[in-house]
Amino acid sequence: MVRRPSARARAGQWLLLAAVLGVAVFLGGNAAANLARRHMTFGFGFLFYPSNFDIPFHLIPWSTADTYGHALLVSTLNTLLVSAMGIVASTLLGLLVGLMRLSTNWLVRNVALAYVELVRNTPQLVQIIFWYVAVLQTLPSPRQSFRLPAGMLLNIRGLYVPDAVFGPHGPTLAWIALALLIATPFAWRLRLGARRIGPYALTLLPVAAAVLVAGVDRLEWPVLRGFNIAGGTAVPPELVALWAGLSIYASGFIAEIVRAAILAVHKGQREAALSLGLKPGRVMVLIVLPQALRIMVPPLTSQYLNLIKSSSLGAAIAYPELFEIFAGTVLNQSGKEIETIVIVMGFFLVINLITSALMNLYNRRIALIGT
């Protein structure tokens, strides 16, 4: 029979795979039979039906006459927006707190410790609702808005920033600006004759900005009209509260990852750098952090993935992200329970797999070569 351990292990794996597939087929068949018995159909045609509900915050145009498919796009962009903002903020905050944890100053060290413990040991949903209620309680009504510089208004309905209205050539110029932005890192690597372009490529950025500004026809200032502020673009408090809730929670874990990674860098490295006469700050930036980064990236990836998944908690505070809009409103209005949940799960899976792939790519680039 099967004597060799390797062959036995392989046979076991095939058996396991067969069992998993068998269970999947059984569950699928069961679901299909139950759907048929209830005269429910399975299909994604409903994505083309008109949706007939409002999404309060959207990055791309949205009206109640648009389709469920468009609602999927709008809510996915909202999820991506808050996730991206959360990843950037939690990384910066986590790095800061992680460094503070290693400070030689007693106060700094222990403030960071208290922060980490408080943030790590309370439920994330509670934190998000706390930030939401806290944000709402402190802000004034639209009629008593705080006036900020550059014509911005801050009140309980959100932060209102002046809106740039594009002229007739605006969209074309905006695309050119975007192309310049994308071209910058490539230009960095090009050579002009024998000389590398390098940092000179950065001159493309102000050019891009100038092109963008050239397309702007006029600025629309936010003003009070009726109940609300009219004109301008609003950053709703839901987005700010969810952003704060996600970033602060994740920063507690990231701070510990940063601290552990720094401590894992061999002591000799630091001593060698100090003995060369480098100042402690330079030692950290030039010697310790680059090496710690290699240790940090894999656990950091998990934190980012967690943060993206937790963005679905935004449903609690009326942030219109993928889960709330699609697994809530669309599910209820279309009656397509299995399909909407499958779509939401699929979208989160794809977003997270892409994030994970990018992080792995980065990890490979910074890894030690030849080890």
Can you give the binding site for other proteins, defined by CB under 8 A?
Answer: 30, 34, 37-40, 52-54, 56, 64, 129, 132-133, 136-137, 141, 156-157, 225-228, 230, 237-238, 315-318, 320, 324-325, 327-329, 331-333, 335, 337
> Would you say 16 or 136 has its CB closer to other proteins?
136
> Would you say 157 or 309 has its CB closer to other proteins?
157
What letter represents residue 145's amino acid? S
Q: How far is the CB of 141 from other proteins (least distance, A)?
A: 5
Q: Distance (Å, rounded) from C-alpha 366 to C-alpha 11?
A: 38
Q: How far is the CB of 257 from other proteins (least distance, A)?
A: 31
> Would you say 283 or 330 has its CB closer to other proteins?
330
Q: How far is the CB of 237 from other proteins (least distance, A)?
A: 7
For the record, the structure tokens of 61 come out as: 């145009």
Chain centroid, CA 65 distance in Å: 29
> Would you say 154 or 315 has its CB closer to other proteins?
315
> Would you say 94 or 320 has its CB closer to other proteins?
320
Q: How far is the CB of 17 from other proteins (least distance, A)?
A: 26
Q: How far is the CB of 183 from other proteins (least distance, A)?
A: 40
Cβ atoms of residues 319 and 78 within 8 Å: yes
> Would you say 249 or 319 has its CB closer to other proteins?
319
φ/ψ of 220, rounded to 5, equals -105, 120
> Would you say 217 or 337 has its CB closer to other proteins?
337
Q: Where are the beta strands (DSSP E) in the chain?
A: 146-147, 153-155, 158-161, 163-166, 191-192, 195-196, 216-220, 223-225, 228-230, 233-235
Q: How far is the CB of 352 from other proteins (least distance, A)?
A: 22
Q: Distance (Å, rounded) from C-alpha 337 to C-alpha 325?
A: 13
Residues 6+ apart with CB under 8 A from 223: 229, 230, 231
For the record, the structure tokens of 97 come out as: 């707190």
Q: Distance (Å, rounded) from C-alpha 261 to C-alpha 300?
A: 11
Q: How far is the CB of 162 from other proteins (least distance, A)?
A: 19
How many residues does this entry show for the chain?
371
Q: How far is the CB of 228 from other proteins (least distance, A)?
A: 5
Cβ atoms of residues 135 and 156 within 8 Å: no
> Would you say 142 or 215 has its CB closer to other proteins?
142
Q: How far is the CB of 293 from other proteins (least distance, A)?
A: 38
> Would you say 109 or 157 has its CB closer to other proteins?
157
Q: How far is the CB of 37 from other proteins (least distance, A)?
A: 8
DSSP one-letter string for 232-285: SEEE-HHHHHHHHHHHHHHHHHHHHHHHHHHHHS-HHHHHHHHHTT--HHHIII
Chain position carrying tokens 């993206």: 308
Cβ atoms of residues 242 and 314 within 8 Å: yes
Angle, vertex CA 127, rays to CA 121 and CA 132, nearest 5: 170
Cβ atoms of residues 266 and 287 within 8 Å: no
Q: Distance (Å, rounded) from C-alpha 265 to C-alpha 289?
A: 9
Half-sphere exposure of 283 (CA within 13 A, CB side): 17
> Would you say 62 or 249 has its CB closer to other proteins?
62
